[in-house]
Chain A
Amino acid sequence: MLRGKAFKFGDNISTDHICPGRYFHLRSNLPELAKHTLEDVEPGFCTMVNPGDFVVAGLNFGLGSSREHAAVVIKMAGVAAVLAKSAARIFYRNAVNVGLPILICDTDRINDGDELEIDLANSLVKNLTSGTELPVGKFPDVMLSILEEGGLIPYIKKHGSF
């Protein structure tokens, strides 16, 4: 069970917003790179977010480049899960591969600062602030297994192949 605060973002948050190209030189220094997570949409995001909080976004979250660093830095910033109305496909896959849960649901029903509780195993999001429950889109089985192992690398280590 995950519990934390919602940080609300709009539609079309790109990987350039999440992990700007100008920090390309920090890609082999992930802790430094993670200090800039989402700074082009929400300056200082990394100093405000607490471990276990959630990124809550609108449509097409993570569009743009294939840089997996975007999913990695969100996780490293302490974010426990991303919730969005929809997500770009590469980002969606990357998030699962690095073990960052990404849930598709009606995020219009979540406000900035709301307290949320997420039951991953049962695909359930509860908005504790408003007292509502949000249905969540299902993962394909293969993604669920990868997520359950904590990402693609632990999955491959265990199973050897797909």
Chain B
Amino acid sequence: MGKTLAEKILTDNSGGDAHAGDIIIARVGLAFVQDGTGPLALRQLKESGLEQIANPKRAILFLDHAAPSPSRELANDHITLRQFAEKSGVQICDVGEGVCHQLVAESYANPGEVILGADSHSVTAGALGAFATGMGSTDVAIAMALGKTWLRVPESFRIEVSGRFTNGVYAKDLILHLIGKLGADGATYKSLEFSGEAVLNMTMSERFTIANMAVEAGAKTGLFPTDETTQTYLDSRGRGASFRALSPDPDADYERVITIDASSLEPTISKPHSVDNIALVRELAGTKIAQVFIGTCTNGRLDDLAVAATILNGKRRHPKTRLLIAPASSDVLKEAISAGYIQTLIESGAVLLPPGCGPCVGVHQGALGDGEACLSTANRNFKGRMGNPEAFIYLGSPATAAASAIVGEITDPRELM
């Protein structure tokens, strides 16, 4: 019997033959925490008595969730993280460098390795063919110290995507559609493995958007095979040497196969208060939106800002709708400035936030008022997520977000394209 991508990568990193259902000890190639999960990880590390970090060059602390810090307590947490980096030699990405998952994609993740992040959206790096998964602070702390972790080899679902997106439809619409189909726990413990014509044609950025949200169906990881697109991306980041060709065996055993025709999809949206609560954008047309947020590890990359800038070019946001933009990294910001997107977005009435998580998790910047609705390009809309349990969050593509910012209501982007 052939192997799935998950089984192949975990076989390579465990020194044994990894089959779905096995419990293995895997070598961890990269481990990271962020400012929300890092302080607890450091406390646990201290408590465990393990002083040494197995590979400080492959252990990273990110200051992105509350950056710049909105409070004294969080500023003090940042100090703790910086001091630890200095003492232990682990890497640190400080305020303004960007969201951890974007920086992992840009500068750290290698195809074929096991990546653990103390953040659930660590699955993002699966787009580069890394077995990337989120764990809690203690698991990641121990992985940093020992360079290994225990894992259950997941069963896999193959997600076969044929056809091409039609105008106004994007990777975000596809992944929202899939989560609606699977349900918020439909893939719990599983590996989602993407394949098919549409997947081959996707840019790296689109693959990141999809892998990023695998966890919203409960998945342990969301994996893409590596190909020329992967190689070109790694080359462009100066990391071409880390490329490895990876694909599942043709006779691999999949627990489920789900087929989606990309050409049949329409702009899709997730309604409050759960990600799998899916509708078509046009079905919600007219819903008033107080704030639009474009950014996050899901959709804060250059192509996302380009789509938004194209739709907003020469137009203004609706006077009753705030428009917030947070580029996913400082490199994204620089490129968006050079391309003129930032100028366009600001002229349309947008507020530019520093690279980082922005208002995504309700820590600072752009918290919602009682009864307000936000259309966000993020990945989660749980009650209270953006700082207020009395608010409502809709999730959509950057195109849907930009169109809705202009009209002030949920709007199908195809109407403005």
Contacts and interface: CB of A to CB of B under 8 A. Distances in A.
Interface in B65-79: 65-66, 70-71, 73-74, 76-77
Interface stretch (A59-67, A75-83, A107-115, A117-125): A59-67
Given A12-B274, A59-B185, A22 B384 contact: yes
Contacts of B122: 66
A28 B380 CA distance: 24
B287 interface: no
B363 A24 contact: yes
A78 B19 CA distance: 39
A89 B189 contact: yes
Contact of A25 (B74, B139, B184, B380): B74
Nearest to A24: B363
B53 interface: no
9 contacts: A40-B383, A64-B382, A66-B37, A89-B188, A94-B136, A97-B136, A152-B44, A156-B142, A161-B148
A24 B74 contact: yes
B149 interface: yes
Interface in A8-45: 12, 14, 16-17, 20-22, 24-29, 40
Given A64-B120, A152-B138, A25 B71 contact: yes
Interface of B: 23, 25, 36-37, 39-40, 44, 47-50, 65-66, 70-71, 73-74, 76-77, 80, 117-120, 122, 134-139, 142, 146, 148-150, 152, 184-185, 188-189, 218, 220, 274, 361-363, 367, 380, 382-385, 387-389
Contacts of B148: 161-162
A66 B136 contact: yes
Contacts of A65: 119-120, 361, 380
B185 A16 contact: no
B136 A16 contact: no
Nearest to A94: B136
Contacts of A89: 188-189, 218, 220
Interface of A: 12, 14, 16-17, 20-22, 24-29, 40, 59-60, 63-69, 71-72, 86, 88-90, 93-94, 97-98, 140-142, 151-153, 156-157, 161-162
A28 B384 CA distance: 21
Contacts of B119: 65-66
Given A22-B363, A27-B77, A67-B37, 6 more contacts: A16-B384, A17-B382, A29-B73, A60-B218, A67-B36, A89-B218
A63 B218 contact: yes
Contacts of A29: 73
A156 to B, nearest CB: 5
B383 A17 contact: yes
Contacts of B73: 25-26, 28-29
B384 A153 contact: no
A131 B148 CA distance: 45
Contact of A142 (B66, B118, B136, B150): B150
B136 A162 contact: no
Contacts of A22: 362-363, 367, 384, 387-388
A93 B118 CA distance: 12
A63 B184 contact: yes
Contacts of A59: 185
Given A17-B383, A22-B367, A162-B150, A66 B138 contact: no
A98 B44 CA distance: 10
